[in-house]
A = this chain, B = another copy of it.
Amino acid sequence: MRKASEVQEPKLYERVAERLGAAIAAGTLRAGDRLPSVRQLSASERVSVSTVLQAYLHLEDRGLIETRPQSGHYVRRRERPLPAEPEVSQPTSQASPVSVSALVTRVYRAANDPRIVPLGAACPSPELLPTQRLHRELALVTREASATAIGYDMPPGSLELRQQVARRSLEWGCPLSPEDFIITHGAAEAISLSLAAVAHRGDTVVLESPAYYGTLQAIETQGLRALEIPTHPRHGLELDALESALRKRKVAAVLVVSSFSNPLGGCMPEENRRRLVELLAARGIPLIEDDLYGDLHFGPLRPRPAKAHDPDGSVLLCGSFSKTLAPGYRVGWVAPGRFRQKVELLKYAHTVATSTPPQLAIAAFLRNGGYDRHLRTLRRQLEAQVRRMVDSVGEHFPEGVRVTRPEGGMLLWVEMPRQVDALELHARALAAGIGIAPGPIFSAQKRYGNCIRLSCGFPWSPQLEGALTTLGSLARSLA
């Protein structure tokens, strides 16, 4: 087994790059500024020249700096300032029943057409995934384990896969054992079973606002109530607001997408994660942590799940390989802590077992190595696509548009001027062959009528550029 430290710790050049990146983000270094020379930086940082060169290459790859021949390295000049970020969301403080499903189904049935430009789908394009290698593993496991691969793989699911996920958990800084995991049909089933394990019809579940519509659907179909809490576009759930809400009402569970959330893209700072877990543990409230996007960090460090701070098994950590390897394989997992027995029982009752061949294929892929290499490439691609899309939104969308600046994942949240009706924009975009996710599906309170979520999962192309231009002009015509 690789030691956790090998991957958990960023490489030296990444640390250097990270510091420079932070200085650029903070405005200490501004567009057009010349960066220190390679020798200067090598001396001041006490690292080798080649480490500095690697760091500069890395920043160039990330689109933050540019090299001018015979001159040096410069902070990349933007042609126009980036659009502002959205502000902290302000949902009402009432828990409410949820009824987004009809709208979601309508939105997504319309977008099933493969000719639609998929700006609404939160998954990476197949060309960014190791499709051939995974399929090869799938073919191999059916040959090598043919009787096993055709039979039921009863809960908790493939031991081989649980071992591989447990190994990765060391690298997240949240060491779990194979016995802690139950394999599920994607994170969706993990979330659905977790909700069913901790909440009953009529109970209230706390969510970020805006929140992932799939989670809202699970809450709706289980007859639960959603309480949306103000959420910061970069730091996630506002803990003061949460604490004050918990003082006022009984809550069955809190559910957060802790890293690069869907749709806001925020990533809860480590200190907030610790405080969140403590705050809930003190009140005996379980935390369902959706860690679906944790592996897709643009910075050098993978965020550590809140579960790492869990004192008593009250955190149900959910994840999957749908956003990093194979959406259609439907392989996810939950580490349900003290709710393990309940979740396993629910798993039996809902789908009995998880599909065997996809589990074995992903286990083999992880065992044979290359997942980390794949992730490094995928992160760079997604980061480039996200930054390009932010730029493009600034260029094409109406004056006053706000857009998030996620540091991981593949999603942008776009807040347009008040008068732009996102549902109308969705309908017009669809008629023009473009799929987007309209804001109202992300709230039990039918808020965000002037917002949309854009997916950056697909590589930049003239077709994509054209779609963004069209979308922007449709939005302007509604403004």
Contacts and interface: CB of A to CB of B under 8 A. Distances in A.
Contacts of A132: 146
- Interface residue SS majority, chain A: helix
Contact of A351 (B154, B186, B200): B186
Number of copies: 2
A354 B358 CA distance: 12
B351 A192 contact: yes
A388 to B, nearest CB: 23
A154 B123 CA distance: 13
Given A218-B350, A348-B104, A185 B143 contact: no
Given A221-B350, A329-B150, A345-B217, A357 B358 contact: yes
Nearest to A140: B139
Interface string A178-204: 000000011011001000100011000
Contacts of A326: 150
A108 to B, nearest CB: 7
A251 interface: no
Interface in A298-356: 322, 326-330, 341, 344-346, 348-356
A473 interface: no
A328 B356 contact: yes
B134 A101 contact: no
Contacts of A351: 185-186, 188-189, 192, 330, 351
Contacts of A58: none
Contact of A356 (B101, B201, B329): B329
B354 A330 contact: yes
A345 B105 contact: yes
A146 B152 contact: no
B151 A218 contact: no
Interface string A376-411: 000000000000000000000000000000000000
Residue from A139, A153, A223, A351 having most chain B Cβ neighbours under 10 A: A351
Interface string A207-226: 00000001001101101000
Interface string A349-380: 11111111110000000000000000000000
Given A135-B149, A139-B143, 13 more contacts: A101-B348, A105-B345, A105-B348, A123-B152, A135-B139, A136-B142, A138-B357, A150-B328, A186-B352, A188-B350, A192-B351, A221-B345, A221-B350
